[in-house]
Amino acid sequence: MTSKDDYNKLLLFIYKELITEKKDGVGPKNVVKEFHDWSPERINEAYSHLRDNHYLKCISLPSSYNGVFDFWIQSLYPYAIKLVEDELEHKKQQKLKEIFNETPWETIKFIKKEDNKAIFIDANIISETVIIGDTNLQVSPGDIIERNLQNGRMDKLIVLENGLIKEHNGIPTHYETKVRKE
């Protein structure tokens, strides 16, 4: 296990406690309980790294708990939250790609109907259904999906319904968007 892995695991745990579970804070007792198989030095190193690199809004106290620094983590800085959420999104995308691997995933151009803004995302196109893992995106009827075909032409698809599918049976939340060719 590398130090980077330790920092990431501790940051993810703190994120889950503060953001997902909406706890008021995280102290050494919580961390020791979660990482019971880590030595106090290992916990201290991971905590110090996150603190010193300004991921955590915290109070450090001059005492210790079972050899672990005494601290109270009040919150995470916005870029730390974004870092964790980006990693969680990446893992979700990878899981979807493993599940829906009948056809290759490709980069598509997604154009919002209302504001005509375009972004590039990965999608899996199966006949008249487009699977999109990025649920931060708001898919609406009338939006446009463009894809480049192997023959050099462009395929233009119109969204008929967003097809948001909530997480179930271990399959992450995603869109199974119904489309038609323009």
Distance CA 133, CA 147 (A): 16
Which residue type, as a one-letter code, is found at position 104? Answer: P
Say if CB 77 and CB 56 are below 8 A apart: yes
Q: Which residues make beta-bridge pairs with 157?
A: 145, 181
Say if CB 53 and CB 4 are below 8 A apart: no
- The predicted model scores a pTM of 0.71
Please write down the HEC assignment for all residues of 68-106: EEEEEEEEECHHHHHHHHHHHHHHHHHHHHHHCCCCCCE
Q: How far is CA 10 from the centre of its chain?
A: 16
User: Assign residue 42 a region: left if phi > 0, alpha if psi is -120 to 50, beta otherwise?
Assistant: alpha
Structure-token pair, residue 32: 């020791």
For residue 151, what are the contacts with CB-CB under 8 A and spacing of at least 6?
none
For residue 138, what are the contacts with CB-CB under 8 A and spacing of at least 6?
112
Of the listed ranges 64-73, 74-83, 130-139, the least confidently predicted one is: 130-139
| Band of residue 114 on the pLDDT scale cut at 50, 70, 90 | confident
Q: How crowded is residue 97: how many other Cβ atoms within 10 Å of its Cβ?
A: 15
Residues in the chain, how many?
182
> How high is the pLDDT of residue 170?
86
Which percentage of the chain shows pLDDT scores above 70?
99
Q: Please state, rounded to an integer, the average pLDDT across all residues of the chain.
A: 93
| Band of residue 1 on the pLDDT scale cut at 50, 70, 90 | low
Which residue type, as a one-letter code, is found at position 112? Answer: K
Helix H or strand E encompassing 181: strand 174-181
Q: For 140-145, what is the mean pLDDT?
A: 94
Of the listed ranges 2-6, 14-18, 79-83, 138-142, the least confidently predicted one is: 2-6
> How high is the pLDDT of residue 136?
84
| Band of residue 150 on the pLDDT scale cut at 50, 70, 90 | confident
- Angle at alpha carbon of residue 140, lines to 96 and 160, rounded to 5°: 90
Q: For 154-166, what is the mean pLDDT?
A: 93
> How high is the pLDDT of residue 143?
95
pLDDT digits (tens, 9 = 90+) for 21-54: 999 999 999 999 999 999 999 999 999 999 999 9
